[in-house]
């Protein structure tokens, strides 16, 4: 029997006609749950550590470094899980308009 993971907490900081900026906080073991990105986006890690990424085909681990941003295109589908024994935080910037 599996145990449900705690939910990551997303706090929208900006939502206008061009962007959505959300701060995501993950307690140890917390997850986003399965989701699909409707926009291109950039992630800016505020913490360093490892996230577990499940894309429905494979599970992998991503090492993130505070301040080292990355970009992903629209359509990414996955569940993101904090694989650290400490809180993990990042800011996600979604681009509504080119």
State the total domains in the chain: 1
CATH number, domain of 74, equals 2.60.120.10
**CA dist 17 to 12, 20, 21, 54, 74, Å?**
14, 9, 12, 30, 17
User: Does 6 score more than 70 pLDDT?
Assistant: yes
Mean pLDDT of 8-31: 98
54, part of any domain? yes
- Rounded CA-CA distance 30/86 in Å is 10
Q: pLDDT digits over 43-69, tens only? A: 999 999 999 999 999 999 999 999 999
Instruction: Record the pTM.
Output: 0.92
53, part of any domain? yes
Decide which of 2 and 72 is more confident.
72
35, part of any domain? yes
Spatial contact of 35 and 13, defined as CB atoms under 8 Å apart: no
Give me the domain span that covers residue 16.
9-95
41, part of any domain? yes
2, part of any domain? no
- Looking at residue 92, its pLDDT comes to 98
User: Does 1 score more than 50 pLDDT?
Assistant: no
């Amino acid at each position: 029997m599996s145990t449900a993971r705690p939910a990551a907490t997303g706090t929208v900081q900006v939502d206008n006609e061009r962007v959505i900026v959300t701060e995501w906080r993950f307690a140890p073991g917390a997850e986003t749950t399965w989701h699909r990105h409707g926009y291109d986006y950039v992630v800016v890690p505020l913490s360093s550590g490892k996230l577990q990424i499940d894309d429905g085909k494979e599970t992998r681990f991503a090492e993130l470094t505070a301040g080292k941003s990355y970009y992903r295109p629209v359509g990414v589908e996955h569940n993101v899980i904090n694989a650290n024994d400490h809180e993990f935080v990042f800011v996600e910037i979604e681009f509504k308009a080119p």
